[in-house]
Structure formats: structure tokens, C-alpha cells
Structure 1
Amino acid sequence: MLTRAGCHLCDDARTIISQVTAELGETFVETDITTDQQLYDLYWEQIPVTFVDGAQHDFFWVDADRLRRALAR
């Protein structure tokens, strides 16, 4: 998940992702876009951004059921 400090949507997404990955025995990595200028330039208007297997999955909001289906593949 791409995130940044002070992002309330990131907080919401983190909660959902944590719950879903725990249910499925998966893990996730969180990256602050302010530590990488290229990520910041690409995604600053879309955060939080989620990826599954390296492909962009969602941005702004995370749907738990949609994420579960993507991770179960």
C-alpha cells in the first residue's frame, strides 16, 4: 500500500487490509510516498494505492471483498 502521513483514507485502508490479510495468512508492505520522489509524482493524488502481485489494485478506498477475491487467486 502506498500511503503518506496525515492521510485519513490511508488509515481506513490500513485497517481493512490488515483484517483481510490476517484472515488469509498474507502480509502487506506499506510505503510512504514522501520518501520516493518518483512514487510521489505518480501517486500523490491517488493515495492510498493498493497493489496485488505488483499490479495496481485500488486507490482511495479498499473494498474488503474485492481485495479478498484478488488475494485468493
Structure 2
Amino acid sequence: MNDVGHEVTLLTRAGCGACAPARERLVALCEEFGLELTCIDVDEAATEDPELRAEFGDRLPVVLLDGREHSYWEVDEERLRTDLRK
């Protein structure tokens, strides 16, 4: 269980072939650390936050840890586990 209270967010978009496997890995990892995974579709969010799609839309999926980019295209699971323990 993680007492630090990290936030893990996955940025995705419909039709992204790499997004579903990334989500599955992150759901399992978040459960292990007692965290909730937040998923945001950058295209759906663009009406309220167009900068999100502009910044991350060309390299999805993107994993954010505590609001900062942690990895993209693939989940860097080893690094994420290390960072979640901090």
C-alpha cells in the first residue's frame, strides 16, 4: 500500500492500439499500490483543455505521475514501481 498518495493518469484516445494494453498494466499496478487510475481521452478533454491534446496527442499513450509526464508509448513499469515507492 502506498501512503504517499501518488496520482497515476493515463492519457489515451479512441482507436489507439497501444492504449488498451497500457491501461490493463496500469490498472493492475495501481491496484497493487492501492491507487486509482485516472484515464483521460485527450480528444474528449480538448474542449476544456486543448493544450492537453496539443502537448501529448502525438505520443499516446502517456503516463502521468503526479501530473508530470512519466513515460509514453509504453508503460515503463520498472521505473514506475520505483517512483511509486518514493
Normalised by the length of structure 2, the TM-score is: 0.78
Which structure has greater strand proportion? 2
2:42 is matched with which residue? 33
Give RMSD over aligned pairs.
1.0
Which structure has greater helix proportion? 1
The alpha carbon displacement at 1:40 in A equals: 1.5
> Larger Rg: 1 or 2?
2
* Cα distance between partner residues in 2 of 1:71 and 1:27: 13
Normalised by the length of structure 1, the TM-score is: 0.90
The alpha carbon displacement at 1:67 in A equals: 1.4
* Cα distance between partner residues in 2 of 1:70 and 1:27: 16
What is the SS of the residue equivalent to 1:45? Answer: coil
2:25 is matched with which residue? 16
Displacement over 3 Å in runs of 4+:
none
Unaligned runs of 5+ in 2: 1-9
Pick from 64, 70, 83: which aligns with 1:57?
70
* Cα distance between partner residues in 1 of 2:14 and 2:60: 11
The alpha carbon displacement at 1:63 in A equals: 2.3
Count of aligned positions = 73
What is the SS of the residue equivalent to 1:8? Answer: coil
Unaligned runs of 5+ in 1: none
